[in-house]
Amino acid sequence: MLGVNPATLRQWTASGKLHVYRTPGGHRRFSAAEIAAFSRTENLSDPCDVADEVIAQLRSRYRALAQSPAAHQGWLATIDDGARRHYHDLGDQLLELLGRYLHAGTPRLRHRGLMRACEIGSKYGDLARSSGVDAPRAVEAYLLFRRPLLDVLSHSLLAHATLASQLGRLMRDAERIMDEVLVGMTRSGPSAQHDDPGPIPSRREREPV
C-alpha cells in the first residue's frame, strides 16, 4: 500500500529506524503513518523539512504509545480518562511548540518558546498533583514521553548524514525545550516562586536580535 518493500521494513526495524509492534498471536504490525513519514525523510535535504518530518513522526509515535501496554501498566493504569485526556492535550501543545521552536529564527522567538515550555511543564506538574501522582512518578511519565523524541532525532541524524551539523542543532534545540519543561515541573505547585526568572538563555539566545 505504501510502496515499501518488506525487506526494507526488516532492515529499518533491525537498525532501529522503525518500530514494530507484535500482536498476542506473534504477528508483526507497523504504523502506516510512521512508515510514510520515515519514507519521506529518506529523500529530504533541507533541515527545515527534516524538522517538519520529525514532528510528523513524533505525532505518529505518540499515538501508538498512547495505545501501547506501556502507557497502561502499573500506576499509569490508575490515571482516569479525564486526566489522561489532559495529558494528551499538553503533549499536543508541546509538539506544536517544539515545531515552532525548531523553526525560530531569532533569539526573541527562541526565548518565548522556552518560556512557553516552562509554562507547559508547570501545568504538567499541577495536573500530576491533582490526579494524585507524586513528583518521581510524574518525572517517570514525562521521560516516557521524552524518549521517542530523542529516538526520532537520532534516527534522522543517521538517515541524513550530510545534514549532521544542522540536525545536531535541531537536536540541541529539542533537548533545550524538553529540559525547560522539566524545569517548569519543579516550579509548579503552591511552593513555586511567583516571580519566575524564566529560562537561563544559552549563548546563542543571548545574541542580539
Report the C-alpha dihedral over residues 73, 15, 171, 146, rounded to 10 degrees.
0
In tens, the pLDDT along 148-173 reads 877 877 777 676 666 677 777 888 88
Domain assignment of residue 25, yes or no: no
Domain assignment of residue 137, yes or no: yes
Average pLDDT over residues 182-197: 68
In tens, the pLDDT along 15-61 reads 666 677 777 777 777 777 776 666 655 555 555 677 787 788 888 88
0.75 exceeded by the pTM?
no
pLDDT of amino acid 122: 94
Q: Which domain holds residue 157?
A: 33-206
**Does residue 184 surpass a pLDDT of 60?**
yes
C-alpha 75/C-alpha 62 separation (Å) is 19
Cell of 107: 533569539
Domain assignment of residue 102, yes or no: yes
Domain assignment of residue 176, yes or no: yes
Domain assignment of residue 107, yes or no: yes
State the total domains in the chain. Answer: 1
Domain assignment of residue 7, yes or no: no
Which of 6-20, 62-76, 107-121 has the highest mean predicted lDDT (pLDDT)?
A: 107-121
Domain assignment of residue 56, yes or no: yes
Q: Quick check: 142 and 181 in contact, CB under 8 A?
A: yes
Q: DSSP E strands: which ranges in 11-138?
A: 21-22, 28-29
C-alpha 98/C-alpha 134 separation (Å) is 26
C-alpha 143/C-alpha 135 separation (Å) is 12
Which amino acid makes up residue 46? D
Domain assignment of residue 13, yes or no: no
Which amino acid makes up residue 89? D
pLDDT of amino acid 206: 43
